[in-house]
Amino acid sequence: MDELVDRVDERDEVLGVVDRGEAIRRGWLHRIATVVCRDAGGRILVHRRPDGVSRFPGQFNWMVGGAADVGEPYEAAAARELAEELGVRASPRFVFKFRCAGVISPYWLGLHEVVVAEPVAPDPSEIAWYDWLTEPELIELVGNRAFVPDAREAFDRYRALSGRRTA
**pLDDT of res. 95:** 96
User: b/e map of 126-141 (b: 16 or more CB within 10 Å)?
Assistant: bbbebebbebeebeeb
- Kindly report, residue by residue over 90-111, the tens digit of the pLDDT: 999 999 999 999 999 999 999 9
Q: How far is CA 18 from CA 5, 54, 69, 120, in A?
A: 6, 20, 11, 33
Dihedral sign for Cα 51, 89, 159, 130, please.
negative
Distances, alpha carbon 128 to alpha carbons 12, 40, 117, 167, in Å = 32, 23, 21, 28
In the chain, what is the straight-line distance between the N-terminal and C-terminal CA atoms, in Å?
Answer: 44
Write the pLDDT tens digit of every residue in 61-90. 999 999 999 999 999 999 999 999 999 999
Confidence (pLDDT) at 2: 79
If pLDDT is split at 50, 70 and 90, which confidence band does 166 have?
very low
Backbone angles phi, psi at 107, to 5 degrees: -165, 165
Q: Does 137 score more than 90 pLDDT? A: yes
pLDDT at 1 over 60: no
- Residue 160 and residue 152 in contact, taking contact as beta carbons nearer than 8 Å: no
Q: How far apart are CA 163 and CA 153, in angstroms?
A: 16
With beta carbons less than 8 A apart as the criterion, state whether 158 and 95 touch.
yes
Q: Are 79 and 8 in contact (CB under 8 A)?
A: no
Mean pLDDT of the chain: 93
